[in-house]
Chains A and B, each alone.
Chain A
Amino acid sequence: MLLDVRDLRVEFRTRDGVAYAVNGVSYGVDAGETLAVLGESGSGKSVTAQAVMGILDTPPGRITGGRILFRGRDLLTLKEEERRRIRGAGMAMIFQDALSALNPVMTVGDQLGEMFVVHRGMSRKDARARAVELMDRVRIPAAAQRVRDYPHQFSGGMRQRIMIAMALALEPALIIADEPTTALDVTVQAQVMDLLAELQREYRMALILITHDLGVVADVADRIAVMYAGRIVESAPVHDIYRAPAHPYTRGLLDSVPRLDQKGRQLYAISGLPPNLTRIPPGCSFHPRCPLARDVCRTDDPPLYGVDDGRSSACHFWRECLHDRDH
């Protein structure tokens, strides 16, 4: 396993008390594999990724437990200096909003080149040449001229390509993409996802794709981890989860999206709201919104039950959920 996150816990100190953002998350990803982490806002999907990358804001954030094994080494025990070497060369991140992730007063060429100057000790001239190569690689037209442009001179889709180029620069083994296409138009989104998938195949990278979009997940992922209130509630190969979800939250999500190929009358809506992370309900955190909830759900926190080969669900009644697809 290239990356193996075990029982990770993260808290934030806020004015309203301690927010339990990540409550025992475990997932892993292998070389060449795509893991989609699916969840709504506040589910802890981005915070987990930030902890893995080592870019969590501390304070207010704090890792209170767990291990993050990357190539067998626990990143949480490393010095900041060592982690910095791993960031960029070992793992890299692509953010949702390229405009705020890129430096507005540096040319894109200088930003791309900086990676080679800092990590590889290249001369500015060589670094510039590598920057042009990279921009070509992510199919930015007229790369040799545009290398001198500033981020604001590019369109949204092109900026996202520059972000991808930056993440690829040092050929990391793992890329974490946090909502990489959410800010883009649908035709541009297709271009960018295509590019990302192609580059991943070529470099045999592991990809963790963080998203709320069930459609994007179905298009590219090998496996899915569904997060709710800081926990993984279901984890499965992509085909299984869409065919027969084993957790009522996953089922609710699937039933609540309108589909391009279907015109339904009434959408299924999950009642209520995601919990406040400072006051996560006892027992199963989904029980106040769950159609299957019973007494045991209000008191006993469900473990991740093994459902099948490579599948697990944190629901006491996963069997019922699995066989109750037509409601």
Chain B
Amino acid sequence: MTATTEPILEVSGLVKHYPLTRGVLFKRQVGAVRAVDGVDFTLGTGETLGIVGESGCGKSTVAKLLCNLERPTAGSIRFKGEDITRLSGRALKAVRRNIQMVFQDPYTSLNPRMTVGDIVGEPYDIHPEAAPKGDRRRRVRELLDVVGLDPDYVNRYPHQFSGGQRQRIGIARGLALRPEIIVADEPVSALDVSVQAQVINLLARLQSEFGLSYVFIAHDLSIVRHISDRVAVMYLGRIVETGRDTEIYDHPTHPYTQALLSAVPVPDPAAREHRERIILTGDVPSPTDIPSGCRFRTRCWKAQERCAREVPALAVPAAFHDTSGPAAHASACHFAEERQVVPPEEPQLHGNGPG
């Protein structure tokens, strides 16, 4: 999973607003749900970018935009240098072949009336050039084998499979067109713990086997750390902090990331005595009514007047400009400072939490 410097995907200024309208005959726009509100990132070839955030932060909308299932309000998505947001017709279809999606819910994302063979082979109906007609059956059996299912199951229906097996079917379908990028939106969150590990290991194996690049979207920070090379933390439609996995997990500088990490339960009862918890107050504001300045300020214990006025840019904070350590990574906070919240090997004493 070593990434090359060549980005396969470059996202800049990505915005998706859903208009809110009032009136039946004379519709007028009264506002907008700002689901994605200015997102930039790159994905290297063979790399895994993890996007984490809580519900409503816009991470699934980003997934849909990447796969061209939604058109952005503004911004660009460059696949190998070409902006795919303006494409249509044949060119769009060609790009879609290369960016495939794996969905969260293996129960609703598979058509219950189609056999497994038809589900996995369906992409070939849309892209007949990917596999000659006579060859499809063989390809489908091969794909089932690749994801660890018995190829003899081609004629079975989804309900005959368990959740983990269904997710494998979804992954096989995603692989059918030999894409270069897989966008996986919460691919294991509907699965039991013991089955989760099987699917995560499968995804890791497929990546090295086929040289895939992954955008891995999840709310579970432990899983994201496990699978990702780089991580982006989203809050209310924006990335608030991004960096390599150790930079984010061991040296977070954005208060939201710190709160998020400190809230994750660690399966180690010995950690509970020396662990610092940052309990945030209140709920995430509505994406129709985003706070001015820094959008996290309404829940932030460090917020000051400046935070309401100035939108913090996602860049290496000035305080870390002169250092080259792991704390020097992009963080959208005026008062970014390093704080270790995930317990290290050796227990350390910290200052008082914010309450």
Contact = CB atoms under 8 A, between A and B. Distances in A.
Tell whether A pairs with B.
Answer: yes
A139 to B, nearest CB: 9
Interface stretch (B114-122, B138-146, B268-276): B268-276
B342 A261 contact: yes
B225 A216 contact: no
A186 B342 contact: no
B279 interface: yes
Interface centre among B194, B277, B283 (most CB of A within 10 A): B194
A176 interface: no
Nearest to A253: B193
B192 A274 contact: yes
B156 interface: no
A289 to B, nearest CB: 8
B260 interface: yes
A185 B200 contact: no
A143 to B, nearest CB: 15
Contact of A214 (B193, B245, B270, B272): B193
Contact of B197 (A187, A194, A221, A256): A256
B267 interface: yes
B164 A259 contact: no
B259 interface: yes
Contact of B200 (A188, A217, A258): A258
A60 interface: no
Interface stretch (A64-72, A81-89, A129-137, A263-271): A263-271
Contacts of A156: 55
B192 A218 contact: no
A215 B162 contact: no
B280 interface: yes
B198 A269 contact: yes
Contacts of B262: 190
A110 to B, nearest CB: 24
A87 B69 CA distance: 49
B193 A40 contact: yes
B196 A256 contact: yes
Contact of B272 (A155, A218, A253, A269): A218
A267 B80 CA distance: 32
A273 B162 contact: yes
Given A239-B270, A268-B197, A40 B192 contact: yes
Nearest to A224: B269
Interface string B222-242: 110111000000000000000
Contacts of B55: 156, 185
A270 B277 CA distance: 32
Interface residues of A, number: 47
Nearest to B263: A190
Contact of B269 (A239, A270, A274): A239
A156 B284 CA distance: 11
A300 to B, nearest CB: 24
Contact of B54 (A187, A216, A259): A187
Contacts of B226: 258-259, 263-264, 267
B200 A257 contact: no
A238 interface: yes
A258 B201 CA distance: 11
A190 B277 contact: yes
Interface in B165-223: 165, 192-198, 200-201, 204, 219, 221-223
Interface in B266-320: 266-272, 277, 279-280, 283-284
B192 A212 contact: yes
Which of A185, A187, A253 has most chain B Cβ within 10 Å? A187
B263 A273 contact: no
Interface in A212-258: 212-219, 221, 238-239, 242-243, 252-254, 256-258
A253 B344 CA distance: 22
Nearest to A221: B269
Interface in B5-60: 54-55
A178 B342 CA distance: 27
A259 B261 CA distance: 12
A157 interface: yes
Contacts of B162: 273
A263 B270 CA distance: 19
Contact of A186 (B193, B200, B221, B267): B221
A189 B197 contact: no
Given A187-B54, A191-B279, A258-B226, A216 B219 contact: no
A40 B194 CA distance: 8
| Shortest 5 CB-CB contacts between residues of A and residues of B | A215-B265, A258-B226, A256-B197, A185-B54, A190-B263
8 contacts: A185-B54, A218-B265, A219-B266, A242-B267, A257-B196, A260-B249, A266-B204, A274-B194
Given A253-B193, A260-B342, 13 more contacts: A41-B192, A186-B54, A186-B219, A218-B267, A242-B269, A257-B193, A257-B222, A258-B200, A260-B266, A267-B226, A269-B201, A271-B198, A273-B164
